A and B are shown apart, each in its own frame.
Chain A
Amino acid sequence: MSGDHEGVFDDRAPGLEEHDPTAGYLSYTVGFALAIVATLASFFVAQTNLIWAPGIPVGLIVLALAQIGVHLVFFLHLGSDRDSTNNILALAFGMLVVLLIIAGSVWIVGNLNSNMMPM
């Protein structure tokens, strides 16, 4: 009956790694490599003529989100494991507020701007 609990359920601090002697350096190095690749790709995409120009902002946003994801997982160690549930929930709420502020401001002010009388 009670034998189904799988291991110990600990909370986990954001930014703190499991105590595995080799995983730490590897995680930061992999994260750094991925982030450098994303950065190089962003600067390449912004200046290239290979890509259809109106698609460039979309590409940049995707690359930025990918890099933010890399930072969160490899530098801040926010994984999908159960122990970081609290940290992920706080992050989710923070992102909700950030989205509301940015999307709401751009939407409302954009609307006001298009309703302005021509000067």
Chain B
Amino acid sequence: MSITATDEALTAVPSEFTRRGGGGPAGKRIVVAYGFWIFILSDMVMFSALFATYAVLSGNTAGGPTGAELFNLRNVFIETVCLLLSSYTCGLGALSAERRQPTRFFVFAALTFLLGAAFLIIEATEFARMVQNGAGPSRSGFLSAFFALVGMHGAHVTSGLLALVYLSAQVIAKGLQPAVLRRLLCWSLFWHALDIVWVGVFTLVYLMGVHH
């Protein structure tokens, strides 16, 4: 029955109402990350439209090459491992930034960048090879949807890499101060989300495409 003055202020309303938001407004970091989370979810909704388009059009090859003829699963596997590893190093980099270890952070950021760049180079080479062989986006509905979906993911990875360079420059210029840490947290959310989209891409587009 003996409660302190601060406890009394918190439990002025019955406890079931104090649970969420009972401690007052959330910190800036929580609000920022939550807002960015909403953005990521809206990005997922955008990707879902492209996935739906691909699912609808994947059979419409117009007499052109099919996925089974075009896709090279070995390259897709290398791409997948690159992106997964870069997600892992991104997480470790975020932890290092959190613990104010700038050297470790830069090592992990460089690894993340290199792995993401490797992914992009493999993807761009694949695209160039396909276009050269007459399997460009204008060949069939299937290929239009393929380039729209996979290209959109690639564009996201590209913008992610640019943002990583920009954020690393901020860490150099400003140090690991709270505002920079918030941006890094948002960036790592973005990068992990791209890996989640890629799980959908390699499953639906490549693995199922080769199987059919």
Contact = CB atoms under 8 A, between A and B. Distances in A.
B91 A28 contact: yes
A4 B15 contact: yes
Interface residues of B, number: 64
A108 B38 CA distance: 28
Interface residues of A, number: 60
A105 B34 contact: no
Interface of B: 1, 3, 7-8, 10-11, 15, 18-23, 26-27, 29-30, 32-34, 36-38, 41-42, 44-45, 48-49, 51-53, 55-56, 73, 77, 80-81, 84-85, 87-88, 91-92, 94-95, 98-99, 185, 188-189, 192-193, 195-196, 199-200, 202-204, 207-208, 210-211
Interface of A: 1-5, 8-17, 21, 24-25, 28-29, 31-32, 35-36, 39, 42-43, 45-47, 53, 56-57, 60-61, 63-64, 67-68, 71-72, 75-76, 82, 85-87, 90-91, 93-94, 97-98, 101-102, 104-106, 109-110
B30 to A, nearest CB: 4
The DSSP consensus for interface residues of chain B is helix
Contact of A15 (B23, B51, B94, B203): B94
Given A9-B22, A15-B192, A105 B45 contact: no
B95 A28 contact: yes
A104 B48 CA distance: 11
